[in-house]
């Protein structure tokens, strides 16, 4: 596990529920600042405890919370960089779905320590896809809901009309069904290959 | 190109090589891919001479269509003459020999942005559709953006770590009670000063009556006195002077660039005067004083740091022996004493130094001044002593003019309840 994931959770909770709540949770769990260092590895147990503690604080399920986290990561202007990196995956939502299988490799290219679970895409029929995400060994956390939230936000970003369904999980994988109803339903958000940031 | 194959071939080139140029037998452009057309626009491309449109940078000095045809298969580096900032790379392919008739002598040059793709994409608003599916331009842009982010994060991490390192280092070199340097820091600075061979003065300062404050009023009062003492000492030295707390109530000062005894004396007097100001926490008021032993690096060059410390230490003991609130300067045995004349052997109490010298220890002022003599704040000058009245202001620190310095006597030094 990488501190980057914990920091994403920290940003999400701070932005959604305020700094005092976040500080209350981390103080109660006794989690050190170093757990949120993006380039540093950290104990997966910390991530699981964080998610459980925040969810419990609002009497929500961890899955609900993680889905909101996924949406937040793509839709928040503050994490525009993540949306951009995902948009490099394809020119439309279907192509983006196909690029999901490359996602762990792409993430590793950006940050060699970042180990995302493997993702497989299966065509079920016209416009129906099954996305399978491997469950990381040992870690009790399921990240499928995060992917679900991200897919929802990315569909909006591309202006595609989709129906998403978390179909559950077994010991080795989590399954999400994607029905692409209209790839060009709305205008979506613009995407320039060149960002101001990348310019020399 | 000829026959039915030609349009199909052109369409294929447009799709697979969106930055290609087709050059006719005369060297004029007769076709171009959609992305290249977009970049050259609004200038027309068709009908222009290839070598007028492009400048070949490698190989150089290619002139005329025959020379161009000779580049069949070669790696080319070139630039659009109208857009010289984008370095292009490419390869030329001769479609048919010159004498083949029809398209004989025609060529295709396929172009690509090298590293300049980043600028071109930004400047022309190119999208994924402007590149061939097999082109890695999008991946390259993705990587660049991802790396930029990772680098930024890495820089942030480095800044945080550097901040933490500096804080830890600062902590390791700081006396936590007073905020002054600690012994470890001072040892390093002294070693460095000795190694650099510059001139400096080293003062060893010991608070007088501090033990009484501690014994009578407890450690909290003692700590307050130490903190106030530190602040006051800092206020009478220059920013580049170093003060370290090296023991309970012991301090050492390193004053770079000081090589005059008069200057050391002025500083010593200022220090003592500052430290003799009463210290109050609002309830209790207490008074301490200080004894100072000093040595100058120029006095006996080539000494090791330990020897310099020893010299200052001996001077401090001489100062202590002379009474409270005194300062003494160590001089080398073979050095001329400040008052002139030989240095007699043995340590002498400064109070009766007369000529202001003692073996190894010179009294802190010239023969015209009686210094190192203490006066009790409450009872007036001690027997045998005179009040030291010296003109200060030798440029070391903001001058304080003539100062009369007083020492709180034993009875007046301990903390008094208001």
Say if residue B238 is in the same domain as residue B387. yes
Asked if A123 contacts A98 with a C-beta cutoff of 8 angstroms, the reply is no
The model's confidence at residue A160, banded by pLDDT at 50, 70 and 90, is: very high
| pLDDT tens-digit map of A27-72 | 998 888 888 887 777 787 888 888 999 999 889 999 999 999 999 9
Would you say residue A72 lies in a domain?
Answer: no
Which chain A residues contact residue B146 at CB under 8 A? 85, 106, 109-111
Say if residue B154 is in the same domain as residue B185. no
Q: Does A39 touch chain B (CB under 8 A)?
A: yes
Say if residue B122 is in the same domain as residue B107. yes
Would you say residue A73 lies in a domain?
Answer: no
Say if residue A108 is in the same domain as residue A56. no
Tell me the residues of B at the A interface, defined by beta carbons under 8 Å apart. Answer: 118-119, 121-122, 125-129, 138-139, 141-150, 153-154, 157, 160
Which chain A residues contact residue B129 at CB under 8 A? 91
Q: Residue B191: pLDDT above 90?
A: yes
Asked if B346 contacts B359 with a C-beta cutoff of 8 angstroms, the reply is yes
Which DSSP symbol is given to B86?
A: E
Say if residue B112 is in the same domain as residue B197. no
| Strand positions, DSSP E, chain A | 119-125, 128-134, 161-169, 173-182
* Residue-range definition of the domain harbouring residue B282: 176-417
Mean pLDDT of chain B: 79
- Residue B334's pLDDT is 53
Asked if B338 contacts B366 with a C-beta cutoff of 8 angstroms, the reply is yes
Say if residue A174 is in the same domain as residue A118. yes
The model's confidence at residue B300, banded by pLDDT at 50, 70 and 90, is: confident
Asked if A174 contacts A135 with a C-beta cutoff of 8 angstroms, the reply is yes
| pLDDT tens-digit map of A99-156 | 999 989 988 888 888 888 899 999 999 999 999 999 866 556 788 999 999 999 999 9
Say if residue A165 is in the same domain as residue A101. yes
Pairs from B377-382 (Cβ < 8 Å, separation ≥ 24): B377/B276, B377/B287, B377/B406, B377/B407, B377/B408, B377/B409, B377/B412, B378/B408, B378/B409, B378/B411, B378/B412, B379/B409, B382/B323
Would you say residue A120 lies in a domain?
Answer: yes
Asked if B33 contacts B90 with a C-beta cutoff of 8 angstroms, the reply is no
| pLDDT tens-digit map of A85-99 | 888 888 889 999 999
Would you say residue A75 lies in a domain?
Answer: no
Would you say residue A108 lies in a domain?
Answer: yes
SS (H, E, C) chain B: CCCCHHHHHHHHHHHHCCCEEEECCCCEEEEECHHHHHHHCCCCCCCCEHHHHEEEEECCCCCCHHHHHCCCCCEEEEEECCEEEEEEEEEEEECCCHHHCCCCCCEEEEEEECCCHHHHHHHHCCCHHHCCCCCCHHHHHHHHHHHHHHHHHHHHHHHHHHHHHHHHHHHHHECCCCCCECHHHHHHHHHHHHHHCCCEEEEEEEEECHHHHHHHHCHHHHHHHHHHHHHHHHHCCCCCCEEEECCCCEEEEEEECCCCHHHHHHHHHHHHHHHHCCEECCCEEECCEEEEEEEEHHHCCCCCHHHHHHHHHHHHHHHHHCCCCCEEEECCCCCCCCCCCCCCCCCCCHHHCCCCEECCEEECCCCCCCCCCCEECCCEECCCCCCCEEECCCCCCCCCCEEECCECCHHHHCCEEC
Would you say residue A25 lies in a domain?
Answer: yes
Count of residues making up chain A? 200
* Cβ–Cβ gap B125/A192 under 8 Å: yes
In angstroms, the CA B262 to CA B363 distance is 11
Q: Collect all residues with Cβ–Cβ distance below 8 Å to B334 and sequence separation of at least 6.
A: none
Instruction: For A106, name the nearest residue in chain B, comparing CA atoms only.
Output: B143
Q: Residue B18: pLDDT above 50?
A: yes
- Residue A170's pLDDT is 85
Which of B87, B148, B154 is best to mutate for the A interface (most A CBs within 10 A)? B148
Q: Residue B219: pLDDT above 70?
A: yes
Say if residue B246 is in the same domain as residue B301. yes
* Cβ–Cβ gap A39/B146 under 8 Å: no
Say if residue A55 is in the same domain as residue A95. no
* Greater pLDDT, B402 or B75: B75
Say if residue A98 is in the same domain as residue A55. no
The model's confidence at residue B384, banded by pLDDT at 50, 70 and 90, is: very low
Triad B249, B251, B257: Cα angle to 5°: 165
* Greater pLDDT, B318 or A40: B318
Say if residue B72 is in the same domain as residue B140. no
Closest alpha carbon to A159 in A129, A179, A193, A189:
A189
Q: How far is C-alpha B277 from the geometric centre of its chain's CA atoms?
A: 36
Say if residue A99 is in the same domain as residue A176. yes
Q: Residue B414: pLDDT above 70?
A: no
Instruction: For B117, name the nearest residue in chain A, comparing CA atoms only.
Output: A194
| pLDDT tens-digit map of B87-125 | 999 999 998 887 777 778 899 999 999 888 888 888 888
* Greater pLDDT, B384 or B361: B361
For the segment B240-262, the average pLDDT, to the nearest whole number, is 94
Say if residue A52 is in the same domain as residue A99. no
* Cβ–Cβ gap B118/A194 under 8 Å: yes
Q: Does A15 touch chain B (CB under 8 A)?
A: no
In angstroms, the CA B95 to CA B233 distance is 89
- Residue B61's pLDDT is 82
Q: Does A189 touch chain B (CB under 8 A)?
A: no
Q: Residue B386: pLDDT above 50?
A: no
Say if residue B202 is in the same domain as residue B276. yes
Triad B261, B263, B269: Cα angle to 5°: 100
In angstroms, the CA B116 to CA B307 distance is 65
* Cβ–Cβ gap B153/A84 under 8 Å: no
Domain boundary among A60, A76, A108: A60
Domain boundary among B73, B106, B135: B135
* Cβ–Cβ gap A38/B119 under 8 Å: no
What's the total number of domains in chain A? 2
- Residue A5's pLDDT is 85
Which chain B residues contact residue A199 at CB under 8 A? 118-119, 122
Would the pTM of this model clear 0.80, i.e. be above it? no
Would you say residue A194 lies in a domain?
Answer: no
Q: What is the CATH number of the domain that holds B52?
A: 3.30.450.260
- Residue B154's pLDDT is 86
| pLDDT tens-digit map of B130-161 | 999 898 888 888 888 888 888 888 898 899 88
Of A23-37, B28-42, B347-361, which gets the smallest average pLDDT?
B347-361
Say if residue B123 is in the same domain as residue B216. no
Say if residue B127 is in the same domain as residue B253. no
Would you say residue A51 lies in a domain?
Answer: yes
Closest CA of chain A from B180, distance in Å: 29
Say if residue B382 is in the same domain as residue B261. yes
What's the total number of domains in chain B? 3
What's the complex ipTM?
A: 0.79
Say if residue B211 is in the same domain as residue B291. yes
Instruction: For A36, name the nearest residue in chain B, comparing CA atoms only.
Output: B157
Q: What is the CATH number of the domain that holds A98?
A: 3.90.1520.10
| pLDDT tens-digit map of B256-290 | 999 899 999 999 999 999 999 999 888 888 999 99
- Residue B364's pLDDT is 40
Closest CA of chain B from A57, distance in Å: 31
* Residue-range definition of the domain harbouring residue A47: 3-60
Say if residue B83 is in the same domain as residue B125. yes
């Amino acid at each position: 596990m990488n501190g980057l994931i914990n920091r994403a959770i920290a940003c999400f909770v701070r932005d959604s529920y305020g700094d005092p709540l976040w500080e209350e949770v981390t103080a109660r769990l006794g989690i050190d600042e170093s757990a949120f260092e993006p380039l540093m590895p950290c104990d997966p147990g910390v991530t699981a405890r964080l998610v459980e503690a925040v969810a419990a604080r609002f009497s929500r399920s961890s899955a609900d919370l993680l889905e909101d986290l996924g949406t937040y990561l793509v839709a928040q202007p503050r994490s525009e960089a993540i949306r951009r990196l995902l948009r490099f995956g394809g020119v439309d939502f279907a192509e983006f779905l196909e690029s999901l299988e490359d996602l762990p490799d792409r993430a590793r290219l950006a940050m060699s320590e970042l180990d995302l679970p493997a993702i497989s895409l299966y065509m079920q029929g016209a416009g129906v896809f099954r996305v399978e995400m491997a469950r990381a060994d040992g870690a009790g956390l399921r990240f499928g809901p995060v992917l679900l939230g991200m897919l929802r936000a990315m569909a909006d970003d591309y202006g595609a009309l989709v129906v998403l369904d978390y179909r559950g999980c077994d010991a080795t994988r989590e399954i999400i069904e994607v029905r692409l109803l209209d790839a060009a339903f709305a205008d979506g958000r613009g995407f320039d290959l060149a960002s101001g940031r990348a310019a020399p | 190109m000829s026959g039915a194959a030609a349009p199909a071939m052109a369409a294929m080139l447009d799709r697979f090589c969106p930055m290609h140029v087709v050059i006719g037998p005369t060297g004029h452009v007769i076709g171009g891919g959609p992305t290249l057309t977009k970049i050259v626009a609004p200038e027309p491309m068709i009908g222009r001479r290839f070598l007028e449109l492009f400048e070949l940078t490698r190989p150089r000095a290619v002139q005329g269509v025959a020379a161009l045809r000779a580049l069949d298969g070669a790696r080319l580096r070139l630039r659009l003459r109208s857009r010289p900032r984008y370095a292009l790379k490419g390869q030329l392919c001769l479609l048919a020999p010159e004498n083949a008739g029809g398209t004989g002598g025609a060529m295709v040059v396929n172009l690509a942005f090298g590293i300049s793709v980043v600028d071109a994409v930004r400047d022309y608003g190119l999208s994924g559709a402007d590149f061939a599916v097999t082109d890695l331009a999008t991946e390259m842009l993705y990587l660049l953006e991802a790396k930029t982010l990772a680098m930024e994060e890495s820089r942030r991490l480095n800044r945080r770590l550097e901040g933490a390192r500096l804080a830890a280092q600062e902590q390791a070199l700081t006396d936590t009670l007073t905020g002054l340097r600690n012994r470890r820091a001072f040892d390093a600075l002294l070693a460095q000063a000795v190694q650099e061979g510059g001139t400096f003065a080293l003062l060893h300062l010991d608070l007088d009556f501090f033990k009484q404050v501690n014994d009578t009023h407890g450690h909290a009062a003692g700590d307050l006195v130490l903190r106030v003492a530190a602040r006051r000492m800092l206020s009478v030295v220059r920013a580049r002077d170093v003060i370290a707390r090296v023991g309970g109530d012991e301090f050492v000062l390193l004053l770079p660039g000081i090589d005059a005894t008069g200057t050391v004396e002025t500083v010593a007097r200022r220090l003592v005067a500052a430290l003799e100001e009463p210290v109050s926490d609002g309830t209790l008021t207490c008074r301490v004083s200080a004894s100072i032993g000093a040595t100058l690096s120029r006095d006996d060059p080539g000494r090791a740091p330990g020897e310099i410390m020893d010299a200052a230490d001996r001077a401090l003991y001489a100062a202590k022996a002379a009474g409270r609130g005194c300062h003494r300067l160590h001089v080398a045995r073979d050095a001329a004493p400040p008052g002139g004349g030989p240095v007699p052997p043995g340590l002498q109490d400064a109070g009766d130094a007369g000529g202001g010298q003692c073996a190894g220890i010179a009294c802190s002022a010239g023969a015209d001044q009686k210094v190192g003599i203490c006066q009790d704040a409450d009872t007036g000058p001690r027997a045998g002593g005179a009040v030291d009245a010296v003109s200060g202001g030798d440029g070391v620190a903001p001058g304080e003019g003539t100062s009369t310095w007083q020492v709180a006597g034993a009875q007046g030094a301990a903390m008094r309840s208001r």
